[in-house]
Structure formats: structure tokens, C-alpha cells
A = this chain, B = another copy of it.
């Protein structure tokens, strides 16, 4: 069984039931999630031995986050206990023209104040096949940026393939600081995932005229940026999911990618959304699975898009689908007929 590792923060997600607004809610639905944890869960569901590396406080909330990961098959042996608190994000689900809202309360979380020495990266990356991280982790704090680089060095030392999801978060750091930290880390990366906003804010590549709120996509601009990115950092693959937000209830969903040779655009799915948080993470996980399984790059991309299209129909951050469910959708059956 392949061993895959992700590193990052898992937060307590507090979401209002149904379409309630924050000021209406008398209860919050509780799950735990975060970009890299979400990737680990997807990969565990696909049958891998997936390890999520993080730090969580020695209290019951930290334990509940661990139990949530274990429930969905993730190995939690490398999670260190200590520090102050579990980060939180509050989520209010939008509908129609009312957007979903996220309020973050993640400062001072255990992982944001963790030391690199808290982790035994040699043990973690021993016999590992893949390491995935995102631009969120180094954005948490200077310590976390340092920790991320230490992890990357260890991964490379052990010959592990590395992927990144650039994931720019404007309330965690400025574009300037992001560029400073992230361009430095790109030397360790084999597979780079990120949309045009990420490319600009994190790596400084300006896309063309694409206006993301208009719902129109300019694939030509993507190709141009991907070529620059590959040239500059030597990525093996450059990949982006493409979201067309018709409304908070309906999205178009596809992806494009460049392998240094060809530029691909995947099939597009029109999705009635149940929960779109974690959509990008499930896409990254699907692509990683495809590549680890030795699929053609185009097929890996299609697997990632189909897997993440399904994610949008599932509550919570985690994508709870099996390989065979993704394959059924890839075979073309999007009819939603009852399976008895």
C-alpha cells in the first residue's frame, strides 16, 4: 500500500444548519477540516496509507479532531499533541446570489506555533511515496514557514515526490510576503496546483484579462502562465481547477493542466452544490491518486475533476467517495439513477 503524507492545519469547522445565517443559528454542525487534512482523507478513501502531520492541543477538542480523521481512515500517528488551541472557522452556506461566508478564528493554533523539532521528519518520510502541502501552512506564521521547509527538505532527502496547492489566503499574509516565502519553497516542488489568482498573488505571474467573477474563463491566459511557471521553477506538471460561479447554488467545474508539452482542458461538470468547501482539495487528491497509479496525465486530470465534482455533493470538508464511484462517473454515467 502506498504511503502518502500531508502537512498542515486541521480546524474545527462550525457551520450553521441548512441555509441559516450566523445571527439565526442556535446550533452549529461540527466537522473538522483543512486543506491538507482534506487531501489526506481523499487519499485514504482511495485506499492509500495516508498520514496527516500536524500539532493539536492536549485537550478534548484536539482529541475530537484526531478521532474525526481516524473515522475516515487517516493515520494520525504523526500528530503531535501540545500548544494552545484548535483553530476554528465558521461557515455560513450561501444560496442563489447570496454568497457563503467564512469567518476565520485560527490565530495561535497549535500548529501555527509548532517547532520543526516537534516532528521526526525522517520517520515520517521513510518509505513515503508522496508529500503534499499547501500555501496555507507557511502562511500561518514564520515558525510554520520554517517547519514547512524542514519538511520539504526531509521529503526530498527521502526521494519523495512533492505537490503543492498554492492556495493564497489574503487574511493570512500579504501578496508580498507570500511571494517571498513561496517562490523560495518552489524548488522542492514537482507538481504545482493553483488557480490564476494564486499564480499572481503567490508567485507573481499575472494572468491575462480573465475576470473570475464574470464566470468566463480564458484558457489561453492559463496556458501562457503555466508555461512561464514551468520554465521558472521546473515543475513537472502545472495544474488548475476552473470554477465558474453561476451562483452560490450552481457552479461549472473543470480543470486545465500543462505537462511541458501539451495543454489540456478536462470535461466540465455543471454542479448543483451541496457543499463546495474542500472542492479544490479533493481535486488535488484525485490528481495525486491518478499520478501515483501511473495513469496518463490527461486521465489523472480527469480523475481529479470527477472526484472533486462529486465532492461538491457531499457535506463537510472531506470527500467521501471511493475509486469505483469516481470511475462510474468517468464512464459517463452522470444520470444520478438510483443504485440498488
Give chain A's interface residues, CB within 8 Å of chain B. Answer: 14, 17-31, 59-61, 63-64, 67-68, 70-73, 84-86, 88, 90, 92, 94-105, 107-108, 169-171, 212-215, 245-250, 269, 271-274, 276-277, 309-310, 312-316, 320-321, 325, 329, 332-340
Contact = CB atoms under 8 A, between A and B. Distances in A.
A334 B97 contact: yes
B60 A245 contact: no
Contacts of A97: 269, 271, 309-310, 313, 329, 334, 336
Contacts of A24: 315-316, 320
Contact of A96 (B171, B215, B312): B312
A63 B339 CA distance: 17
Nearest to A105: B85
A276 to B, nearest CB: 7
B18 A315 contact: yes
Contacts of A102: 338-340
Contact of A247 (B169, B315, B332, B335): B335
Given A22-B64, A23-B67, 20 more contacts: A14-B14, A18-B315, A19-B315, A22-B63, A24-B315, A61-B105, A71-B71, A84-B107, A85-B107, A94-B336, A96-B272, A96-B312, A97-B310, A97-B334, A99-B336, A99-B338, A102-B338, A108-B108, A248-B313, A248-B336
Contact of A107 (B60, B108, B250, B336): B108
Contacts of A104: 340
A169 B340 contact: yes
B60 A96 contact: no
A335 B213 contact: yes
Number of copies: 6
Contact of A171 (B19, B23, B329, B340): B340
B30 A336 contact: no
A98 B337 contact: no
A246, A248, A316 pick with most chain B CB within 10 angstroms? A248
A35 to B, nearest CB: 13
A59 to B, nearest CB: 5
Contacts of A17: 27
Contact of A67 (B31, B72, B85): B72
Contacts of A20: 315
Contacts of A320: 21, 23-24
Interface centre among A64, A100, A169 (most CB of B within 10 A): A64
Given A14-B28, A30-B25, A107-B108, A60 B101 contact: yes
A46 B25 CA distance: 20
A95 B313 contact: yes
A320 B64 CA distance: 12
Contact of A60 (B71, B103, B274, B316): B103
Contact of A28 (B27, B107, B248, B338): B27
